Amino acid sequence: MALTPSSPDSFTSVPATVFDLTALLGTDTGECVITGEAPTTSSPHRIAEASAAGIGALGVQLAALAGGPRVTVDLATALDQLRAAFLTTLNGRHVHTVVEDPSALGNNDFYRTSDGRGIFLITTYPHQRDAVCVVLNCPPVKSKIAAAAAEWGAVDLEDAVCAAGGVAAAVRTADEWAEHPVGRESATHPVIRLERIGDAPPRPLPHTSMWPPLHGIRVVDLTHVIAGPVSTKLLATFGADVCHVSRPDLPDPLAMVALTGGGKRNAYCDVRQPDQAAALHTLIDAGDVFVNSYLGLENRGLAADDLALEHPGTVVVDYHCWGSASAWRDRGGFDQLACSATGFALEEGGGVPALPPTQLLNDYLAAYLGAAGAVAALRRRATEGGTWRVRVELARVCIWVRSLGIVDARPGRPIGPPVASAEGCDGPLGRLVEPSVPMVFEGLSTPAHRAPTLLGTAPLRW
């Protein structure tokens, strides 16, 4: 399979990459047509092609449920999906500016360290902010963080922040990551994994004659931030009944709810409370798919192997930044941290760490890959039976994008204006306008994203 080319000549085409991704899922592929040209940006990576391949991989899985109509994806529209967070508006305001604490996101950045390297620090959530500030013994002010970080070595600061319960990643080169134990472990498996982890009788899809094709599929969504929630938003857009579950004392910011909550019901659940944990298990037992992006669920009886025993036939989708079997299994991670650790950021900045011109990358790519894996698992469960697990890791996504080859970048070239059509919907948060679903199905209408709802406004039941 052409999943690890190491030079520009190794990349053949987006449809071929879609075929490779589909082969990893053990399912047949339909026809995926790519239109347009990849926009030229400052990135040396094939970010538009990677996005189009992830979108196409999900498209052919969905199309297979409707007899296999041709799926079309436009390269410029695919690029816009990577920056959907910056193209979405809520009541006329760019949604990324609708924040409870502007400094929380504003302090997320690369910081220079004493050894001439750098580190990306995350302060989005209070406990992450506190970990950074306790370790650096400074207030949550960007200039103070920068001054304090400059007194540390990058790896030492990374270890200290993570040990304090925060998240951070030192800036590494691609070669350093390839030799790192986590990087070596990641290289042993493909960008998306689908495996049968238990036995169960076949469970036919409930409404194969309907479009969108996921009507009757129930999804328990225990995720936060972007990758996991966007994957379940995509499943909801294509008809699934999605119940998003969150702890009332660990809410996502409103901007994240607006970006990722489309078409879902939102219920509160604290799995530390026995009665609520039992209610969640009841929800999972009557559902089809369980999607998780949190750490430590093995301590709550919610790991994939636990679910295979207690709820056979469940499709489990696990998101992790570094890999649940790696030395960093207990470390959290975000899009920017994966770019920082894997060498991707240094390549983006030509030797100076920088994020891609879309600002986000592997969160959205992982969302499409995980959703494709979920649909593929549902298809296989319908004919083969079984309990299935899908695994996607953010750091591995970075390596996969690099494997598509390097292109001639134009340093400093601004990313062009969005080309994706926009769609709007009204809901409890107001008027939300966001890029349209980026795939066209021959002879079928492409569904629109639905309005998000507020956290905790639905009961913990179907």
pLDDT class of 416 with cuts at 50, 70, 90: confident
Can you tell me the distance from the alpha carbon of 401 to that of 408, in angstroms, rounded to the nearest whole number?
Answer: 15
Q: To the nearest 10°, the Cα dihedral for 55, 61, 67, 70?
A: 20
Q: What is the mean pLDDT of the segment spanning 325-332? A: 96
Mean pLDDT confidence for 18-47: 95
Domains of the chain, residue spans: 32-99+172-461
Instruction: Specify the residue for token string 């999607």.
Output: 291
Give the lowest-confidence range in 10-24, 273-287, 411-425: 411-425
Model pLDDT for residues 336-395, shown as the tens digit of each residue: 999 999 999 999 999 999 999 999 999 999 999 999 999 999 999 999 999 999 999 999
Query: How many other CB atoms sit within 10 Å of the CB of residue 434?
Result: 22
* pLDDT 10s digits, 175-215: 999 999 999 999 999 999 999 999 999 999 998 789 999 99
Residue 73 phi, psi dihedral angles, 5° rounding: -130, 135
CB atoms within 10 A of CB 448: 14
Average pLDDT of the segment spanning 91-104: 89
Burial class (CB in 10 A: 0-12, 13-18, 19+), 133: buried
Question: Is residue 41 predicted with pLDDT exceeding 50?
Answer: yes
What value does the mean pLDDT take over residues 321-348?
Answer: 97
Give me the mean pLDDT over the 92-100 stretch: 91
**DSSP secondary-structure letter at 57?**
H
Q: State pTM to two decimals.
A: 0.96
Banded pLDDT at 6 (limits 50, 70, 90): very low
Residues 6+ apart with CB under 8 A from 73: 14, 32, 33, 34, 35, 52, 55, 56, 59, 438, 439, 440
**212: cis peptide before it, omega within 30°?**
yes
- Lowest mean pLDDT across 3-12, 193-202, 246-255, 385-394: 3-12
CA 328 to chain centre: 18
- Domain 32-99+172-461 sits in CATH at 3.40.50.10540
pLDDT (average), residues 283-307: 95
User: In the predicted model, is pLDDT for residue 411 greater than 50?
Assistant: yes
Tokens at 108, concatenated: 């997320």
Q: Are strands 440-441 and 89-90 parallel, antiparallel or unpaired?
A: unpaired
Q: What is the DSSP letter of 299?
A: G
Asked whether the predicted pLDDT for residue 245 surpasses 70, the reply is yes
198, 308 in Cβ contact below 8 A? yes
Question: Distance between CA 194 and CA 318 in Å, rounded?
Answer: 10
pLDDT of residue 2: 27
What pLDDT was estimated at residue 207? 80
93 CB-near residues (< 8 Å, 6+ apart)? none
Average pLDDT, the chain: 94
Q: How confident is the model at residue 4 (pLDDT cuts 50, 70, 90)?
A: very low
Measured CA to CA, the distance from residue 267 to residue 281 in angstroms comes to 14
Contact present, 371 and 59 (Cβ < 8 Å): no
